[in-house]
Amino acid sequence: MSSAGSSRRRPLLAVALLSCLLLSSCAGAGDPDAPEGESTDGASPSEQSAEEAAAAAEEQRRADAEQAQEAALAGPGQPHQERAAEIVTEYSLAELAGSVLVGEYATTDASAMADLIEELHLGGAIIMGANVPASDGGVDTEELAEELSTLRDVGGEREVPPMISVDQEGGLVTRVGAPLTEWPTPMAYGAAASELGASEQDDPEARGQHDEQDDDPLARSGHRLLATELAELGFTTSFAPNGDVTVGASDPTIGSRSFGSDAASVAALTMESIRGLADGGLAGSVKHFPGHGSVTEDSHQTLPVQSASLEELRTRDWAPFAEAAEAGVPMIMMGHIEVPALEAGVPSSLSAAAYAELRELGHDGVVVTDALNMGAIVQGYGGDQAAVTALEAGADLLLMPADVRGAHIGLVAAVESGELDRSRLEEASERVAALQLWQAELAAGDLAAGPGAQLPEELRSEEAAGDETDPDQAEADGTAGSPAEEAESGSAAETAVQLSESAVTLVAGECEADLGSSGITIVGGSDQDRSRLTQAAEAAGLSVGTGTVVNLVGESSAAGGDVAVALDRPEVLAGADAATQIALYGRTQESFLALAAVLAGAQAPGTLPVEVGELPRGHSAC
């Protein structure tokens, strides 16, 4: 049995233990002075036994339903894999080569890309900023939906639908903006979670208790709502979340795209996030193995070298990926990083040793490369040959080759020449097809989880159970809500507000100080940042143009003024001379509303998810 399968036995074990506790506690709770054959509540032993058995059976039914949900969200099941294998056996070599490629295009006109998908039988396309049509209010969602429909509907009778993908992490990496909900950076989830205090940082027992008890529901609900909006437009896949563990200021690429610097916390939030994406109907991808958060160069420009030992990597960088592999996720992205401890001189995306390590962790789903048009690849490897080398090394899905037609020709030629085994190409194609079949059924509500799925009675929330609508009638007429809808009533906007309010962190200064009574003067940031804070301040009753100097600090701005506010990553506050320092983790309107509230005297509840200078992770001045 795979490790993913073994992890799915754990809910049943937990229920068995709970049932034993229930039985033992009930059996031992009677009054020792009560007459034999009677209990303190007047129930006979036989009645007690029946009640306990019914309770145990109910717990088991609930565990079974939870297990089915978890399996449905984790990725393709055996039926998807078997059907994918049947489909792939019918592919020609040209169709095989196309099925493992995801191409890009440069305009908002998708017709040429659609023709290419049909001609080359491409696995799909990725939507970048240049493909997103604009209107006066931001994104023209109607035009975008039509564009995606053009891509999705290509191929006629093709059973495996094209993958319509996007990089949508929140924060700095947001391809589709307003009127879709704007989300702060992923690091906001790390700041909003109940972090370990400084005294607990090195206490294994305290850390263990924290890891068991602290799964942040915001990460799951936020990613579910993000996915729901994307799915409504026609997207099927988001290359998120980041499982990278950042090392802080020396990490130039990931920064606030990471949940934080603690491997265990990042692992927990990564799993909540990718499950949330699946809840919303999207396939997600944990990225970027073997960990981009602890290298000091950017793979968009050059090839970073990861000099850490395997022991260090397994303890820190690989921990979130190991947990994802064990629990089961649909896809993991392989980054472009040289790891001498695995294979010197070779990017991980082209290294058989790196793919073998990821499989050894237990991942049996798709492995997608990071974009093959990035500097780490194109500077040292031919674009067409890189596609062949990556697939031969162990990749399943090749993302954004520099020339998708050239990559297709290269794959076909490599099989025909014997350089690449056809069986390796078929294996990759089967995994990709299974992923796409699974996502289509998940989005359609045909599995035990996902949008529109019928919620088992055992998992209906108390709120849903108390609703005036009769659940049996709702089930009969098809109006019963999805698991996500019945478990949570918060809208995307409400959840974004909650996340921003929960994340804002007072790094230095006096907690709940009224900093805006004499008004505020806003400096730094972009025009949009200053405009948004102005609106938020006025909504909070603060005058703007005089008084406390609030300096909005970006990635490298000087952190002076009376109040220095880190907009993205908090490490820019290290060495700041402002008396009051605040970490915001985002530039959304909701983020600035949260900031205005703190300036007006509200508490800042967040804690640092990374070290800032000498301040430890988990620090807050409140």
Pick the catalytic residue: 115, 300, 470, 514? 300
Report the 10 Å Cβ neighbour count for 520: 26
State the Cα–Cα distance between residues 253 and 364, nearest whole angstrom: 28
CB contact at 8 A, 236 and 282:
yes
| Main-chain dihedrals φ then ψ at residue 187, nearest 5 degrees | -60, -20
Three-class secondary structure assignment of 27-39:
HHCCCCCCCCCCC
Q: How far is CA 482 from CA 455, 459, 492, in A?
A: 6, 11, 16
Query: Among the residues of 460-614, which ranges form H helices?
Result: 462-465, 471-477, 483-487, 492-503, 527-539, 589-599
Pick the catalytic residue: 244, 370, 384, 529? 370
Contacts 24+ apart (CB under 8 A), 84-89: 84/160, 84/430, 84/431, 84/433, 84/434, 84/437, 85/430, 87/159, 87/160, 87/433, 88/426, 88/429, 88/430, 88/433
Query: In the chain, helix, strand, coil percent, each to 5?
Result: 45, 10, 40
Q: Which residues contact 313 (CB under 8 A, 6 or more apart)?
A: 290, 291, 306, 339, 341
State the Cα–Cα distance between residues 404 and 98, nearest whole angstrom: 9
Tokens 């089967």 label which residue? 430
β-strands 331-334, 338-339 pairing: unpaired
β-strands 168-170, 338-339 pairing: unpaired
Query: Is residue 211 among the annotated active site residues?
Result: no
Terminal alpha carbon distance of the chain: 48
State the Cα–Cα distance between residues 483 and 279, nearest whole angstrom: 8
β-strands 580-583, 505-508 pairing: antiparallel
State the Cα–Cα distance between residues 29 and 41, nearest whole angstrom: 10
Query: Is residue 80 among the annotated active site residues?
Result: no
State the Cα–Cα distance between residues 254 and 259, nearest whole angstrom: 10
CB contact at 8 A, 261 and 187:
no
Three-class secondary structure assignment of 588-622:
CHHHHHHHHHHHCCCCCCCCCCCCECCECCCCCCC
β-strands 138-139, 134-135 pairing: antiparallel
The residues annotated with a catalytic role in the active site are: 300, 370
